[in-house]
Structure formats: structure tokens, C-alpha cells
């Protein structure tokens, strides 16, 4: 007979996670939720109550509405230290333990362990699976972190720990142990490294058709911009490989995991300004005070001074607050002062003013920066203030790109009649460099199925993403579609937008490698618009940037009337400036043809006119996206 009301559960999340780069395992994301959330989902139906054993990030775990128990033993003593505190706090007869990095645990773990415990009158029941040895012969393997323990076994555990021993299954000698054989060994596997975490994400990535099937009104021949963006976001998967780099090299890289502060910042209570430190209780009921100065506290030099009643310490900005002091009088508020004393009005400060408390900015063990952040100059300074010299970052994204067209020539080649120089590769080069990608310029590919297939295969085998320009319009689509269908899963779209209507998107494979493919139009302005509004955020997602890096749109008035046909999204090139009244206004650059590249060089923003928008009258507000820092 089983009764879940007799069982409490403890999720073990108190380790250092050395093999995962010392990040907090339980808080690492898997399929859109932290690992600990997946474990909780599996545990809740099986037990009466749950607690989490964690030695850092207590606030993050407490957000799940559960008790968070820290080890009683010092120094990350291992899962037995978690079991010890769990048994001490356990309010039921039985305690079930599971690790935070095993999100696949069986749905019947607790009842089967409980049934065996009662049937064999045991003190502890442990999960067992059959695992092949080096010769392929199945052997019974215990999983001690998946166990159900009687609360009455606590004295034996504490005696074992007092002897200095820490091995998880080593204390079983004093207990009656029941082994429960589970047939699904995979349910007990744990995720020990970031690479394993990445592999789990990859193995459960949806197909393009699965993502598309979520749209009830999908029409590739008339696809709204928002639907194309939704499909791309749902299909793209981040590149998970992690590397450690020196702090200076981390600029513009993506943080691979939460960066945990090893120290309090500030490390001690200190003064926010130059002045006089004293006990603020002396302010009560005093119109004016005169305090005797007993010494000076400099930044970086603890003074060892302790002023008594009627005394103060001259203190510099950043100086450690002397014992017994909680308030700082700014020096400019003193009505009189010399080396021996200071006089000031009692109402000029309040108790506690101008004191920076230890850990006020960051507390040791708390995330200083979250994983997925694009590291900027201010972040470098923050990381340096923590004394961290190396940073775990996602590896750089590799992007291959080429142009298609018999009429295209590269710079330096003679320009025959009817030919043009290829400009798209240079704009793509600039935009990809701005993103910090490792780029592979594959030049120009002629309009030929064999040449296109060879170029796509080469790009696929050397890059994470491929960007092509040209070859996806109606006249080119037949052989392009045949080649891309041969290599993978690619959709061809006519998007309700101007410029940039034709586009291809999907994933191709070659010789065991795969790459996401963005087939952009051939017109120069259309290339830039489709890159920015479709490819750029997808590449940022591949880089691991949390939530993408969408720049906020600004709303300004239009300085002139703009013609617009409802039913499609239009991206018009504009120049934003201050009007005569000092308010921002925007005007068009002139002709808006998709081949007029000069219109992009003259513009400093794009005017975004959504599907439902019709003609715009002068003075009406419009949404704009500034170019600076983006393209």
C-alpha cells in the first residue's frame, strides 16, 4: 500500500556543478524552463510536499514557493549534506531525494520505492537499473540520489558524516536497503555538462513543418511579416558550444551561463562621499551638533577607529565605515570644521544617510549577469569588479554567404555589357561584422543547379547559417527549390512586404552537418531590409542572446504625406531630424525603389508602415527604427 501523504521530497541542487563550469545546474534552461522546473513537474503528483537543497541563488529557488534548505556542513559537502538537512527538516515519515539535473525521472518513482520499503521492512529504498559493463553484459547499478529514506535513519547518516565520509551510497552498511529495478535506465540519466544540455535541446528541436502547422491560416504565397517572423523564431535553435575567454576578449560575446558573484559588492559598509562618519542616534532632538574628530578613514585602508558618543571620524569616499558608525555628514554641509572637530545642523542629515551597505549592489552567490546577455563595456567593468578573469561565452556564430547571378561581377573584374558589380556581399559583410559573427565570403555563384548545390554543400559543411542573395524570385524558384529540397527542409515565401517580397527559409544538410538557410532577394535595398527584419534576430537567437536584441521603435511625426497601400507592410527609408519646434520629424529620402541603394546611405532610419496602415498625412505619427548601431 502506498500513500503519498507520508512522503516529502528534496531536490538536491547544492553542488558546485564543476563539470558544467560551476554554473547553478538547477537554473540552467532546458526547452524553455530551468532544469529544476522540469523536476518539480514530475515530482508534484507523487509526494505531499517538496523542498530544495541549495547553497546559492536561494532567492531564485524560493521563487517556486518552496522551502530552500542550505547544507549544515561547510564547503559543498555533497548530496549527503543535502540529505542530512532534508531529514532534519522533514515533516513526514519518508523523504524522497532526486537530483536537480535529472528532468526525466519516472512518474512512478515514489510509489514504487514506497511499496518496496514497506514490503521489505527496509530503512531505505533505492532505484536500480541494468547497465551494460565493458563487455556488454547487463549489471545492476544503484542510483543512490534516487532514494526513499525513513526519517528515523538520520542518526546513522549523521554518524557516517561525523566520521568524515561523504560517499552517497557508503552509509548503507548500517541500514536495511530495498532495491527497486526500473526498466527505463534513461529516466535516471542526468545532465552533467553544458554539451549534454545542448544535445538535449538539439534532439527535441521541432521540424519546420511542425512550426508552420501551428499557424491555422498559413499561406506561403501571401505570408504576413509577423507570421514569417514567428516561424523563423520557432524553428531557429541556439548554438550551444561554450568556451572560456579572457575578460577583455568577452566584449560583444554572449554570456553562456549566469555569472555568479563570488563576493559582496561593496565588500564592506563604506562611505558614499567625503565627510564625517558618526552614530546617527546622536541626531535625535539636536538642533546643532559638535563632534570631536578622532582620526581619518581612507578608501582601501580600514582605520580600526571606533568613535564614542560625541565623536566622529573624518572619512573619504569609499572608506570603510568605522565600527559604531552608520551615518556620514557630507563635508559641504558642515557649518564649521577643523582638524579637531566639526559642527553642523541636526536636520542636515538623517540616520543612515550616505552609507553604502555591504552587498548593496551584489551579494555573494547571486547572479551578477544573466546567461544570454550580450556583453557590453559596462559589463566588462562589472565583471572586473568581481575579480573574475575568464568568462564563459557562446562560441562565435559562423555564417557563410554568397550572391547568385550570371550578371554579377566582383570588384576588380572587368564589367561587360549587361553586368553589374555585386554590392550585396559587401552590405552583408558589414551587417554580419556588426553582429560579431565569424564570416565566410563565398563570392558569386552562377545561375546553375550544379553550382548552387556545390556552393550550398560547401557552406553547410563549414557554417552554422547560410545567407544567399538572389535566386528566390518567381523566375528562379524552380531549380532553386529543387536543389534546396534535395538538401533539406526549405520553404519559399511571398511575404506581404515592400521591399523584399520573395524569401526562402529552412535548414539544409550535407555530410552529417546542418545549417539554417536564409534565401534573401537580389535587390540591394531588399537584401538589407529582409536581413534586418528576419535574419538578424534569428542570428542573435542562434548566438544565444536571451530574448533577441529587438531595438525599440520610436514614434515621430511625418514631415510629409506618404503613399501607402493597405494590406502589406512597407519599410520606407527616412531621415529623422528636429523640426522647427524642436520635436523630431521624419521625411522620405526620395525614390523608394528596392534597387536604389543610395536611398539607404542617405537614410538614418526606416519608417515602418504596418499591414493595416493606409496613406499617411503630413503631421501624423509613424513608427521608425533608427539605423545607428544596427545596420
Alpha-carbon distance 607 to 587, whole Å?
A: 9
pLDDT value of position 549: 57
If 0-12 CB within 10 Å is exposed, 13-18 middle and 19+ buried, where does residue 191 land?
A: buried
Q: Write out the three cell numbers for 510.
A: 550535407
Angle at which helices 79-89 and 154-162 pack, to 10 degrees? 140
Residues of the chain with pLDDT > 90, as a percent, come to 64
Residues 6+ apart with CB under 8 A from 28: 20, 34, 35, 191, 194, 197, 257, 371
Residue 477 has pLDDT above 60, yes or no: no
pLDDT tens-place string over residues 177-206: 999 999 888 889 888 877 777 677 666 678
Q: Does the pLDDT of residue 151 top 60, yes or no?
A: yes
What is the rounded distance in angstroms from the CA atom of residue 264 to the CA atom of residue 368?
10
Q: Residue 427 — pLDDT band, cuts 50, 70, 90?
A: very high
Whether 430 contacts 470, CB under 8 Å = no
According to the model, what pLDDT value does residue 8 have? 96
Give the number of other CB atoms < 10 A from CB of residue 61.
24
Mean pLDDT of the chain: 90
The alpha carbons of the chain give a radius of gyration, in whole angstroms, of 32
Q: Pick from 476, 475, 523: which is nearest to 498 by CA?
A: 523
The answer to whether the beta carbons of residues 241 and 395 sit under 8 Å apart is yes
Residue 455 carries which DSSP code? H
CA atoms of 470 and 520, how far apart (whole Å): 6
DSSP 330-395: EGGG-SEE-SSEEEEEGGG--TTTTEEPTTSSB-TTSEEE-TTPBP-HHHHHHHHHTT--EEEEEP
Q: Taking residues 345-373, what's their average pLDDT?
A: 92
Contact 463, 397 (CB under 8 A): no
> Cα–Cα distance between 528 and 322 in angstroms, integer?
60
Q: What is the rounded average pLDDT of the residues 518-536?
A: 92
Residue 631: pLDDT band with limits 50, 70, 90: very low
pLDDT digits (tens, 9 = 90+) for 45-90: 999 999 999 998 888 898 889 999 999 998 888 899 999 999 999 9
Q: Which three cell numbers stand for residue 172?
A: 548503507
Q: Which long-range contacts (CB under 8 A, 24 or more apart) does 608-611 make?
A: 608/553, 608/569, 608/570, 608/571, 609/562, 609/564, 609/569, 609/570, 609/571, 609/572, 610/569, 611/224, 611/225, 611/496, 611/566, 611/567, 611/568, 611/569
- Counting Cβ atoms within 10 Å, is residue 249 exposed (0-12), middle (13-18) or buried (19+)? middle
Specify the pTM.
Answer: 0.68
Is residue 352 within 8 Å of 334, Cβ to Cβ? no
Q: What is the pLDDT of residue 25?
A: 84
Amino acid at each position: 500500500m502506498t500513500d503519498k501523504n507520508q512522503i516529502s521530497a528534496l531536490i538536491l541542487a547544492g553542488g558546485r556543478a564543476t563539470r558544467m563550469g560551476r554554473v547553478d545546474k538547477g537554473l540552467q534552461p532546458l526547452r524553455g524552463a530551468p532544469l529544476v522546473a522540469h523536476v518539480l513537474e514530475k515530482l508534484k503528483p507523487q509526494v505531499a510536499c517538496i523542498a530544495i537543497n541549495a547553497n546559492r541563488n536561494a532567492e531564485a529557488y524560493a521563487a517556486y514557493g518552496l522551502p530552500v534548505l542550505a547544507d549544515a556542513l561547510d564547503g559543498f559537502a555533497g548530496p549527503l549534506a543535502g540529505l542530512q538537512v532534508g531529514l532534519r527538516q522533514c515533516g513526514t515519515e519518508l523523504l524522497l531525494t532526486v537530483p536537480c539535473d535529472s528532468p526525466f525521472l519516472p512518474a512512478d518513482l515514489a510509489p514504487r520505492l514506497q511499496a518496496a520499503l514497506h514490503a521489505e521492512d527496509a530503512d531505505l529504498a533505492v532505484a536500480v537499473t541494468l547497465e551494460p559493463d565493458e563487455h556488454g553484459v547487463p549489471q545492476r547499478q544503484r542510483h543512490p540520489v534516487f532514494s526513499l529514506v525513513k526519517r528515523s535513519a538520520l542518526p546513522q547518516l549523521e554518524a557516517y558524516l561525523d566520521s568524515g565520509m561523504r560517499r552517497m551510497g557508503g552509509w548503507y552498511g548500517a541500514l536495511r536497503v530495498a532495491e527497486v529495478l526500473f526498466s527505463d535506465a534513461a529516466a535516471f540519466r542526468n545532465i552533467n555538462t553544458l554539451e549534454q544540455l545542448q544535445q538535449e535541446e538539439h534532439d527535441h528541436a521541432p521540424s519546420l513543418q511542425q512550426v508552420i502547422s501551428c499557424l491555422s491560416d498559413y499561406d506561403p504565397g501571401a505570408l504576413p511579416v509577423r507570421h514569417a517572423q514567428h516561424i523563423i523564431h520557432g524553428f531557429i535553435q541556439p548554438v550551444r558550444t561554450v568556451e572560456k575567454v579572457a575578460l577583455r576578449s568577452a566584449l560583444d560575446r554572449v554570456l553562456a551561463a549566469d555569472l555568479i558573484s563570488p563576493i559582496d559588492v561593496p565588500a564592506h559598509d563604506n562611505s558614499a562621499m567625503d565627510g564625517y562618519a558618526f552614530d546617527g542616534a546622536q541626531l535625535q532632538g539636536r538642533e546643532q551638533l559638535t563632534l570631536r574628530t578622532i582620526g581619518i578613514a581612507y578608501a582601501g585602508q580600514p582605520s580600526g577607529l571606533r568613535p564614542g558618543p560625541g565623536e566622529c571620524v573624518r572619512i573619504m569616499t569609499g572608506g570603510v565605515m568605522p565600527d559604531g558608525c552608520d551615518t556620514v555628514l557630507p563635508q559641504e554641509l558642515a557649518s564649521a570644521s577643523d582638524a579637531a572637530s566639526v559642527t553642523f545642523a541636526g536636520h542636515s542629515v538623517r540616520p543612515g544617510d550616505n552609507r553604502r551597505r555591504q552587498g548593496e549592489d551584489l551579494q555573494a552567490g547571486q547572479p551578477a549577469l544573466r546567461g544570454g546577455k550580450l556583453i557590453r563595456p559596462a559589463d566588462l567593468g562589472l565583471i572586473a569588479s568581481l575579480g573574475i578573469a575568464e568568462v564563459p561565452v557562446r562560441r562565435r556564430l559562423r555564417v557563410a554567404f554568397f550572391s547568385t547571378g550570371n550578371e554579377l561581377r566582383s570588384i576588380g573584374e572587368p564589367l561587360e555589357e549587361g553586368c553589374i558589380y555585386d554590392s550585396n556581399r559587401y552590405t552583408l559583410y558589414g551587417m554580419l561584422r556588426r553582429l560579431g559573427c565569424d564570416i565566410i565570403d563565398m563570392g558569386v555563384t552562377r545561375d546553375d543547379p550544379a553550382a548552387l548545390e556545390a556552393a550550398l554543400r560547401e557552406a553547410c559543411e563549414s557554417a552554422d547559417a547560410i545567407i544567399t542573395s538572389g535566386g528566390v524570385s518567381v523566375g528562379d524558384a524552380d531549380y532553386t527549390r529543387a536543389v534546396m529540397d534535395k538538401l533539406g527542409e526549405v520553404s519559399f515565401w511571398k511575404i506581404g512586404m515592400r521591399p523584399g517580397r520573395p524569401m526562402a527559409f529552412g535548414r539544409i544538410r550535407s555530410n552529417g552537418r546542418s545549417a539554417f538557410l536564409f534565401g534573401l532577394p537580389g535587390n540591394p535595398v531588399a537584401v538589407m531590409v529582409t536581413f534586418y527584419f528576419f535574419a538578424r534576430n534569428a542570428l542573435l537567437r542562434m548566438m544565444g542572446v536571451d530574448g533577441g536584441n529587438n531595438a525599440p521603435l520610436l514614434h515621430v511625426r511625418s514631415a510629409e504625406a506618404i503613399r501607402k497601400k493597405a494590406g502589406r507592410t512597407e519599410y520606407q527609408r527616412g531621415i529623422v531630424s528636429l523640426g522647427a519646434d524642436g520635436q523630431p520629424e521624419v521625411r522620405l529620402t526620395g525614390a523608394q525603389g528596392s534597387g536604389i541603394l543610395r536611398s539607404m546611405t542617405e537614410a538614418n532610419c526606416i519608417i515602418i508602415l504596418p499591414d493595416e496602415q493606409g496613406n499617411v498625412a503630413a503631421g501624423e505619427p509613424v513608427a521608425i527604427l533608427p539605423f545607428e548601431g544596427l545596420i
